[in-house]
């Protein structure tokens, strides 16, 4: 089996969550390229999103994980970049569906959000799901055709 790689980036709003997610991913056997900050000093989430996407585009990564205070700003930033489908699920169900139906290549979370389920469980639902293709493939193609409009 080939190496399973993930890129992970965060700003100052998700330092603790980033450490938890990185530990969890490594326990699941992923090699994590970490581009985040482990300090409380302010870091701009658009910069972290851009760094992660640029790294992801080098190839060999299964997906990326982005974290900021709410997950909103960093996911919007990533979604501005060509070819990125970054989801911001709040539950295991939503995480599973974003892989099955949208084939998201990035997933985002907020370090200051109180989730109804552990973030690591939500992440696992995403990781363990498979893209279903078929009508969902057609819809992903239509979604990606919206870029630049």
Q: Which residues are catalytic?
A: 68, 101
- Judge whether 45 and 11 are in contact, CB under 8 Å: yes
Contacts of 99 (CB under 8 A, 6+ apart): 126, 129, 130, 131
Q: Which residues of 8-42 are buried (b: 16+ CB within 10 A; e: fewer)?
A: bbbbbbbbebbebbbebbeeeebebbbbbbeeeee
């Amino acid at each position: 089996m080939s190496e399973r790689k993930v890129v992970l980036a965060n700003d100052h709003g998700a330092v603790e969550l980033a450490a938890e997610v990185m530990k969890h991913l490594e326990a699941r056997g992923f090699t994590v390229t970490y581009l985040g900050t482990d300090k409380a000093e302010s870091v701009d989430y658009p910069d972290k999103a851009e760094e992660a996407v640029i790294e992801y585009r080098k190839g060999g990564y299964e997906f990326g994980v982005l974290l900021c205070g709410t997950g909103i700003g960093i996911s919007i930033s990533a979604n501005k970049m060509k070819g990125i489908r970054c989801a911001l699920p709040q539950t295991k169900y939503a995480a599973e569906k974003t892989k099955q139906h949208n084939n998201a290549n990035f997933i985002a979370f907020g370090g200051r959000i109180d989730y109804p389920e552990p973030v690591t469980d939500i992440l696992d639902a995403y990781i363990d799901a498979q893209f279903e293709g078929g009508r969902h493939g057609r819809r992903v193609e239509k979604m990606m055709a919206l870029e630049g409009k």
